[in-house]
Structure 1
Amino acid sequence: MFTLDWMFFLIAGPAVIFAGISKGGFGSGAAFASASVLALVVEPGLALGVMLPLLMLIDVATLGPYWRKWDGEGALLLILGGLPGVALGAALYTIAEPDVFRVLIGVISVAFVVWQLFFARRSAVRTKRQLPRWAGALAGLFAGFTSFVSHAGGPPAAVYLLSKPLTKTQYQATTVLVFWVVNIAKFIPYAFLGMFTLQTGLANLALAPFALLGAWLGVRAHRLVPDRLFFALTYVLLSLTGLKLIWDGLT
């Protein structure tokens, strides 16, 4: 149980705005941290239930600005892997040890950034070593699973998409489309697992303006930030979220 008091809004409001900015402008990579912050004032299981409808609202708010600007092949591969990943997360939610997956995804995320920077130093031109298609489906599987258990699907999707020669808007639009589908797929299993209550519904209504504000700020920031800076920020966010996942998994 939790109370919609000033302490709740002091912590939850900025967390939801941050999720909107991350999902609306910078590829969703760090949005999962909002659920961790929300868990400071809400039981962890209910924190996931509070965040999912807000993430879905952000998805809807940002889908329009990025409509049909995505990379179709990348989105398809991630979705084809992501839906079974959601099903796996639902099936194993009560018995799986999510910390193992948090550490694994965190290590892969940080290693990918180091790998890309290593090749970038060997060339004056930004080097792209595109991962094979099967890696896209595998990244989608991890993204679907980790998204279900902790809303942390952004890093595995980023590992695959950042290996492709995409513009910042193609990259962003692809993440919006992929997680719009994945979050819809998560809704019914979350309901069956009892993650939605009257309280979480009231919290959703109260926090909806914060989610929409964050989404608007994210879209605005995306348009203003140059490509080079966008990808630099994306790598920074991927590194930080990867380290955070490792820390969460080990502690």
Structure 2
Amino acid sequence: MDISYFHFFLVAIPVVLIVGISKAGFGGGLGVVGVPAMTLIMGPVEAAAILLPVLCFMDLFGVQKFWRQWNVPAARLLIPSAMAGIALGTLTFAYMNEHVLKLILGILSLAFVANTLRKPTQSGRQGSAIAGRFWGTVTGYTSFVAHAGGPPVNMYLLPLRLPKTEYVATTVLFFAVVNYVKLIPYYFLDQLYTEHLFKSLILLPFAYLGVILGVFLHTRVSDKVFYQLCYAFLAVVGIKLIYDGVTGF
């Protein structure tokens, strides 16, 4: 095997397993780990293109598992707004360079870690339409750029204090729609070419394994332990990305 492929799978396989476990067993918030971690061995645009079909594959299992358990008002508010964010990402794609993307990814990574310290302050009531549209648009953009929609969408959903299953189901539905819509601009921007799709295809069995492990570990491993380890890893990667982004200018 070519050494570049060896390095790719050395990083990509654990990343896909972590994302799969998170999606199926722990709410899916750690999808933001994927692109930042893979930028250790490749450019962020390439990493995002390879991961998108893998995420779409995982989404099929998530939607099936949480079918019709999502919060309908929140989904109706967030999904159309996310489409605007995806459109904005498509229009600005040509102006994004590697150093800008790394800086954005680094900031989003640290923002996601910092957001875990934020405690909900509301009592289960529906959030404002303005907040939903704003965070939905931001989520669509950050998800398009780097599959990093977790931090902004949580800024809206977490304060609602939804029941755990309803919260997870809402994020599963939301990101399933967003990820499948993103396939369209990714195709027209020539990001889904043969080599990327080949790597995505090879990763699908590990994506499925991650989903199976997530279901198995859901009631066996503490959410706190799993996320603390992953947040620590994400914080280190985020700091490195910010450093690389700043020094690259």
**What range is the shorter-chain TM-score in?**
0.7 to 0.9
Report deviation, 1:112. 5.0
Across the aligned residues of Structure 1 and Structure 2, the Cα RMSD in angstroms comes to 3.2
* Candidates 151, 169, 178, aligned match of 1:173: 169
- Give the alignment partner of residue 154 of structure 2, picking from 139, 158, 176: 158
Cα separation, partners in 2 of 1:215 and 1:233, compared to 1, 3 Å: same
Helix, strand or coil at the partner of 2:79: helix
3-state secondary structure, aligned to 1:93: helix
- For structure 1, the residue ranges without an aligned partner over 5 or more in a row are 120-126
Moved segments of 4+, more than 4 Å: 96-115, 229-247
Unmatched segments (≥5 aa) in structure 2: 245-249
- Could you tell me which residue of structure 2 aligns to residue 221 of structure 1? 217
Q: Displacement of 1:242 after TM fit?
A: 7.6
- What is the alpha-carbon distance in structure 2 between the residues aligned to residue 146 and residue 94 of structure 1? 15
Name the amino acid aligned to 1:159.
Answer: M
| 1:211 and 2:217 are equivalent in the alignment | no
1:34 alignment counterpart: 34
The count of aligned residue pairs is 239
Deviation at 1:143, TM superposition (A): 0.6
CA separation in 2, counterparts of 1:143 and 1:102?
13
Give the Å deviation of 1:36.
2.3
Aligned counterpart, 2:74: 74
Q: Secondary structure at the match of 2:18?
A: helix
What SS does structure 1 have at the residue aligned with 2:95? coil
Deviation of the 1:195 alpha carbon: 1.3
Q: Does 1:248 align with 2:244?
A: no
Which residue number corresponds to residue 123 of structure 1? Answer: none
Using a 3 Å threshold, how does the CA distance of structure 1 residues 113 and 132 change in structure 2: closer, same or farther?
Answer: farther
Counterpart of 1:18 in structure 2 is 18
C-alpha displacement of 1:9:
2.1
Q: Aligned in 2, Cα 1:7/1:99: closer, same or farther, shift over 3 Å?
A: closer
Scaled by the length of structure 2, what TM-score is found?
0.80
Q: Which residue of 2 aligns with 1:58?
A: 58
Indicate the percent of aligned positions where both proteins have the same amino acid: 34
Tell me the residue number matched to 1:49.
Answer: 49
Counterpart code for 1:31: G
